[in-house]
Chains A and B, each alone.
Chain A
Amino acid sequence: MSVSLLLLVVAGIGVMGYLAGSWRAGALAGGKASSLHSRPGYYGAFVAVWSVLPAVLVLLVWIVASPIYIGSTVRNGFPEEVKAEPQATQNLDYNMIGAISRGLSLLSAQERTALFADGSAARTVLAAKGVPLAADPAPYMLTSADTLNRMTVASGLLRSALVVLVALAGAFFSYRMIAPKFRARNRVEGVMLGGLLAASSIAILTTIGIVASMLTEAIHFFNRVPAWEFFFGTVWDPRFAAAGAAASAGQFGLVPLLAGTLYIGFVAMLVAVPVGLFAAVYMSEYASRTLRSVAKPLLEVLAGIPTIVYGFFAMVTVGPFLRDISAQMNGLATGNFASFIQAQSVLTAGFVMGIMLIPYVSSLSDDIITAVPRALRDGSLGLGATRSETIKRVILPAALPGIVGALLMTASRAIGETMIVVLAAGVAARMQLNPFEPMTTVTVKIVNQLTGDLEFTSPQTLVAFALGITLFVITLCLNIYALYIVRKYREQYE
């Protein structure tokens, strides 16, 4: 039985259990529902839970454990000279055995006996069935593949039998437990609570998963490339062309990437902060109701547009526009119509990213500005200050910590932004200060290193995880600090 069919059977048992349980509870009550501790549905749910949960758990354990067990048994059956080989070769052999066993299961009984009688034809026979082999299999491989096949089939049968048995047993025992005084509701609610708790722990599991997965791969990377060369190296040259060759050292210096990331982020903030702050101040202090109800959602549309669209906009509209206008300006000034702004540049990427960040700055600051107590505002206005003076001298200083927090969150978004810089910032890892030249970022390099063929062994690939964990740590620190500031600020006025 396949896993999905098995699950369907278990679900069927669960439904039957539910119906039987509710029916039995109803029968026990004998028309007098108040004699039951819980409503009949809860008895049914109790039976259903007991039929489904243990069976599914057994199934999960089996799915994880049985390939490991079968694998080790098959490997133990290898001839001694194969066991003496290094682990990597054995893994290759095992993969080939897996392919052979897939092929064997496609053969008819006749073909199979023929194959075992004469193993030399194995490659051609299996290729005819659509299972290509890298090389002619060694004789022991056929027997191992056969063992593998037989054990897999046996394991499948055993699994189905065990799971169905567990489901039935669960249904039976829980059914027997039903009695009028049985606290079915509390049991079922306990299970539900466990489910809710498990769901909320997924958030923590995700974080653990992020940290653990990136850390292990990054450690693999640091085993090949010393950490200080990565963190303090000033040259980024992963030498993709030589990947796989023996002497493909490559240089993995983080500094130029980080410089590009921070530079582009800085340009973006240069655009987003003034515009966003002024927009927020105007919205919260000056704008009429109608203007606010129109302009605020429209500005927030900017936050809803996918970043790939911004990237495309930067690449086909803003970049060429800046390039052409710089050529015109250069021509007017010096007579030489050569553009000094390149289409892919820090300025292009930073400017477009700044536009994307405007709504983040404005809506976060808007919330914070409106949270400043009315009394401060009224006091200042009452003393004769103009509105702008009130804003500059009273509201903004009072809201400053919150605004700084908001800006930090925005900055972390700028640092982690990918698609705009992939399309508009360029790929050359350089350290320079001219905003009209292309630079590259951490995120661009993660994408570059991981699109294409992957081998989880070369430093060229693994470096992406080292970059990723760097990015994660930077944004995490910014966010935690920002949250801390915002929280503290909020307490101040509560």
Chain B
Amino acid sequence: MSQVSPMSSMSSIGASARPGRRDIGLGRRYAAERRFRFYGMAAIGFGLLFLFLLLFSVVSKGYTAFQQSMITIPVAFSEQVIDKDNERAANPQKLVSANYPVVARNALAKVLGVDEKDRAGLKAVNGLISDSVRTQLRDLVVADPSIIGTTRDVTFLASGDLDSAFKGQINLDVPEKDRKISDRQVGWMNQLAESGALSKHFNTGLFVNGASSRPEAAGVGVALVGSLYMMLIVLALSLPIGVAASIYLEEFAPKNRLTDLIEVNINNLAAVPSIVYGLLGLAVFVNFAGFPRSAALVGGLVLTLMTLPTIIIATRAALKAVPPSIRAAALGLGASKMQTVFHHVLPLAMPGILTGTIIGLAHALGETAPLLLIGMVAFVADVPATPLDPATALPVQIYMWANEAERAFVERTSGAIIVLLLFLILMNVGAILLRRRFERRW
């Protein structure tokens, strides 16, 4: 009962000195607690803020790339310009090399009412038309020479500068000589827009065209095909090899130094900088084995080696998650070890394996650095027919466009990034759905 007296004495002290309770620093400590909490929230907020800023910056710069300004006007395929001396029967080459930009320029000048002798005016009119009109009109004429001498409505691309101006991306308050589009051209732009000749269309060219030095005609079509080839190669190689390797390591490998070495190896390979894989690909596949540079095949092989560790780690986790009772039951019923694995464990682990594979593929799809080294930084205008042809990839295309100086290429780059991110989101959402749908908790 000796405790009673101190306690009672304490309470009496407390009662007498209630307002000035003994300071044990609680206020300070709670303040520190609140501060600490605030730091934590601020950290998360900081991360999320920059995620938002990043996406906002890309989307706000890039969403306009999905629309393209087109001019639709009646174009007179004048024999005077295309084939003055009527040689096309004798020399079909004449139609290929004719001066088609002038055809388009004259048509537009006529619509705008610019005099044919106003050379400065004609030059300014020319500045509104994309150079790609040359190939477009040429293809029209070569396909059907009988349209020479007639007048047709043709829709063609506006030039990159007109496109930017029409989308309101060029600040018109800047003095005329400091911007890429003159006041006269702006006037024409408004005139064309009012008459309906100039309008924005969905930009299919972005998804179909190949590389081009003119932003308005450049697209990611070729890069998409190259990326598709590479993803197929990565999938076809890394999934079977990765699954086989993990099955061996997880189910069969004896615990010895060699297996240990392989384990450490795989963990380290997962952390090797991607650019080192590029050097490996360059030295082994291109220089030693003699595969062509810039080919999707080499890119696919390099990305396969890079993705393998990811897939192996994911697959091993999925195999580990299958409870031992499944194995014991199969073995107890007389299945061999191999049958147990392939008939029972592997199917049960499949959702996890596929999820890991998709995530690995998504990673490979966005990888740029190794592809730069094996020569995929190439100006490829034609769709590669086989994986051995020169190709480029979506992230590499982004890199190349990012290095272009023109304003319109910033829009293209952001547009291409949006396309890339959409693919990544699609793959990741697929992986999540797969996991939600098929994952079993034991």
Q: Across the interface, do A204 and B268 meet the contact criterion of CB distance under 8 Å?
A: no
Cross-interface CB contact of B54 among A206, A275, A313, A417, cutoff 8 Å: A313
Q: Across the interface, do A201 and B40 meet the contact criterion of CB distance under 8 Å?
A: no
Query: Which A-chain residue is minimally distant from B42 (CB atoms)?
Result: A278
Is A412's CB within 8 Å of the partner chain B?
A: yes
Residues of A within 8 A of B244 (CB): 195-196, 199-200
Q: Given A274-B43, A308-B368 in contact, is the A416-B266 Cβ separation under 8 Å? A: no
Query: Which A-chain residue is minimally distant from B270 (CB atoms)?
Result: A479
Q: Given the complex of chains A and B, what is the CA–CA distance between A387 and B242 in angstroms?
A: 44
Residues of B within 8 A of A305 (CB): 54, 366, 421, 424
Residues of B within 8 A of A202 (CB): 241, 245, 308
Residues of B within 8 A of A358 (CB): 47
Is B174's CB within 8 Å of the partner chain A?
A: no
Interface string of A267-308 (1 = CB under 8 A from B): 000000011111101110010000000010011011011111
Cross-interface CB contact of B287 among A209, A456, A480, cutoff 8 Å: A456
Is A446's CB within 8 Å of the partner chain B?
A: yes
Interface string of A196-219 (1 = CB under 8 A from B): 110111111011011001101100
Q: Across the interface, do A446 and B275 meet the contact criterion of CB distance under 8 Å?
A: yes
Q: Given A389-B29, A412-B271, A447-B373 in contact, is the A316-B410 Cβ separation under 8 Å? A: yes
Interface string of A370-398 (1 = CB under 8 A from B): 00000000000000001111011000000
Is A52's CB within 8 Å of the partner chain B?
A: no
Q: Across the interface, do A309 and B269 meet the contact criterion of CB distance under 8 Å?
A: no
Q: Across the interface, do B44 and A283 meet the contact criterion of CB distance under 8 Å?
A: yes
Is A350's CB within 8 Å of the partner chain B?
A: no
Q: Closest CB of chain B to A37's CB: distance in Å?
A: 12
Residues of B within 8 A of A468 (CB): 275-276, 279
Q: Closest CB of chain B to A17's CB: distance in Å?
A: 20
Q: Given the complex of chains A and B, what is the CA–CA distance between A326 and B356 in angstroms?
A: 44
Residues of B within 8 A of A422 (CB): 369, 399
Q: Given A301-B51, A386-B30, A472-B276 in contact, is the A206-B305 Cβ separation under 8 Å? A: yes
Q: Which of A81-89, A170-178, A185-193, A330-338 contacts B (4 or more CB under 8 A)?
A: A185-193
Residues of B within 8 A of A388 (CB): 32-33, 35-37
Q: Given A189-B338, A214-B283 in contact, is the A306-B367 Cβ separation under 8 Å? A: yes
Residues of A within 8 A of B282 (CB): 450
Query: Which A-chain residue is minimally distant from B427 (CB atoms)?
Result: A304
Is B197's CB within 8 Å of the partner chain A?
A: no
A-B contacts at CB below 8 angstroms, number: 249
Q: Across the interface, do A298 and B48 meet the contact criterion of CB distance under 8 Å?
A: yes
Q: Across the interface, do B373 and A306 meet the contact criterion of CB distance under 8 Å?
A: no
Cross-interface CB contact of A304 among B247, B253, B424, cutoff 8 Å: B424
Q: Given A312-B58, A312-B398, A312-B413 in contact, is the A275-B47 Cβ separation under 8 Å? A: yes
Cross-interface CB contact of A451 among B33, B42, B372, cutoff 8 Å: B372
Interface size on B, residues (CB 8 A): 88
Residues of A within 8 A of B37 (CB): 282, 286, 388
Query: Which A-chain residue is minimally distant from B240 (CB atoms)?
Result: A199
Q: Which residues 164-220 in B have Cβ within 8 Å of A in the complex?
A: none
Cross-interface CB contact of A302 among B51, B336, B420, cutoff 8 Å: B51
Q: Across the interface, do A418 and B275 meet the contact criterion of CB distance under 8 Å?
A: yes
Q: Across the interface, do A304 and B362 meet the contact criterion of CB distance under 8 Å?
A: yes
Q: Across the interface, do A471 and B275 meet the contact criterion of CB distance under 8 Å?
A: yes
Q: Which of B134-142, B257-265, B434-442 contacts A (4 or more CB under 8 A)?
A: B257-265
Q: Closest CB of chain B to A63's CB: distance in Å?
A: 11
Interface string of B388-421 (1 = CB under 8 A from A): 0000000100110010000000100110010011
Q: Given the complex of chains A and B, what is the CA–CA distance between A412 and B267 in angstroms?
A: 13
Of residues A199, A392, A479, which shows the largest number of chain B Cβ atoms within 10 Å of its Cβ? Answer: A199
Residues of B within 8 A of A277 (CB): 43
Q: Given the complex of chains A and B, what is the CA–CA distance between A229 and B424 in angstroms?
A: 44
Is A264's CB within 8 Å of the partner chain B?
A: no
Q: Closest CB of chain A to B425's CB: distance in Å?
A: 9
Residues of B within 8 A of A313 (CB): 54, 57-58
Residues of A within 8 A of B39 (CB): 278
Query: Which B-chain residue is minimally distant from A271 (CB atoms)?
Result: B46
Is B53's CB within 8 Å of the partner chain A?
A: yes
Q: Across the interface, do A295 and B368 meet the contact criterion of CB distance under 8 Å?
A: no
Interface size on A, residues (CB 8 A): 86
Cross-interface CB contact of A193 among B40, B43, B252, B420, cutoff 8 Å: B252
Q: Given A282-B37, A359-B47 in contact, is the A203-B266 Cβ separation under 8 Å? A: yes
Q: Across the interface, do A203 and B369 meet the contact criterion of CB distance under 8 Å?
A: no
Q: Across the interface, do B248 and A196 meet the contact criterion of CB distance under 8 Å?
A: yes
Is B72's CB within 8 Å of the partner chain A?
A: no
Cross-interface CB contact of B271 among A311, A413, A443, A464, cutoff 8 Å: A413
Q: Which residues 7-36 in B have Cβ within 8 Å of A in the complex?
A: 29-30, 32-33, 35-36
Q: Which residues 312-360 in A have Cβ within 8 Å of B in the complex?
A: 312-313, 315-317, 355, 358-359
Is A169's CB within 8 Å of the partner chain B?
A: no
Q: Given the complex of chains A and B, what is the CA–CA distance between A312 and B287 in angstroms?
A: 31
Query: Which B-chain residue is minimally distant from A483 (CB atoms)?
Result: B267
Q: Closest CB of chain A to B368's CB: distance in Å?
A: 5
Q: Given A278-B40, A313-B58, A443-B273 in contact, is the A200-B51 Cβ separation under 8 Å? A: no
Q: Closest CB of chain A to B30's CB: distance in Å?
A: 7
Query: Which A-chain residue is minimally distant from B410 (CB atoms)?
Result: A316
Is A27's CB within 8 Å of the partner chain B?
A: no
Q: Closest CB of chain B to A256's CB: distance in Å?
A: 19
Q: Across the interface, do A309 and B54 meet the contact criterion of CB distance under 8 Å?
A: yes
Is A49's CB within 8 Å of the partner chain B?
A: no
Q: Across the interface, do A213 and B44 meet the contact criterion of CB distance under 8 Å?
A: no
Interface string of A467-494 (1 = CB under 8 A from B): 0100110011001100100000000000
Q: Closest CB of chain A to B264's CB: distance in Å?
A: 7
Q: Given the complex of chains A and B, what is the CA–CA distance between A165 and B40 in angstroms?
A: 71
Q: Given the complex of chains A and B, what is the CA–CA distance between A456 and B57 in angstroms?
A: 41
Cross-interface CB contact of A275 among B30, B46, B268, cutoff 8 Å: B46
Residues of A within 8 A of B35 (CB): 388
Cross-interface CB contact of B58 among A214, A301, A309, cutoff 8 Å: A309
Q: Given A201-B262, A207-B265, A307-B368 in contact, is the A316-B275 Cβ separation under 8 Å? A: no
Is B422's CB within 8 Å of the partner chain A?
A: no
Cross-interface CB contact of A279 among B44, B367, B424, cutoff 8 Å: B44
Q: Closest CB of chain A to B27's CB: distance in Å?
A: 12
Q: Closest CB of chain B to A373's CB: distance in Å?
A: 22
Residues of B within 8 A of A316 (CB): 57, 61, 402, 410
Q: Given the complex of chains A and B, what is the CA–CA distance between A299 and B49 in angstroms?
A: 10
Q: Given the complex of chains A and B, what is the CA–CA distance between A193 and B247 in angstroms?
A: 10
Residues of B within 8 A of A418 (CB): 273-275, 368-369
Q: Across the interface, do A471 and B261 meet the contact criterion of CB distance under 8 Å?
A: no
Task: Name 14 extra pairs, CB < 8 A, besides A278-B40, A299-B44, A311-B402.
Answer: A189-B338, A200-B249, A202-B241, A277-B43, A278-B42, A302-B50, A306-B367, A309-B366, A313-B58, A315-B402, A389-B32, A391-B36, A409-B271, A472-B272
Q: Which residues of B are at the interface with A, using a C-beta cutoff of 8 A?
A: 29-30, 32-33, 35-37, 39-44, 46-48, 50-51, 53-54, 57-58, 61, 240-242, 244-249, 252-253, 261-262, 264-269, 271-280, 282-284, 287-288, 293, 305, 308-309, 312, 336-338, 362-363, 365-369, 372-373, 375, 377, 395, 398-399, 402, 410, 413-414, 417, 420-421, 424, 428
Q: List 26 A-B contacts (CB under 8 A).
A: A193-B252, A196-B247, A196-B248, A199-B248, A203-B245, A207-B265, A209-B284, A210-B276, A214-B279, A276-B43, A278-B42, A302-B47, A304-B424, A309-B417, A312-B402, A312-B413, A386-B33, A387-B33, A388-B33, A388-B35, A418-B369, A450-B279, A451-B373, A471-B273, A479-B268, A483-B268
Pairs of residues from A and B, 8 with the lowest C-beta to C-beta distance, nearest first: A416-B273, A282-B40, A306-B366, A278-B43, A199-B244, A213-B283, A388-B36, A196-B248
Q: Which residues of A are at the interface with B, using a C-beta cutoff of 8 A?
A: 185, 189, 192-193, 195-197, 199-204, 206-207, 209-210, 213-214, 216-217, 274-279, 281-283, 286, 295, 298-299, 301-302, 304-313, 315-317, 355, 358-359, 362, 386-389, 391-392, 409, 412-413, 415-419, 422-423, 443, 446-447, 450-451, 454, 456, 464-465, 468, 471-472, 475-476, 479-480, 483
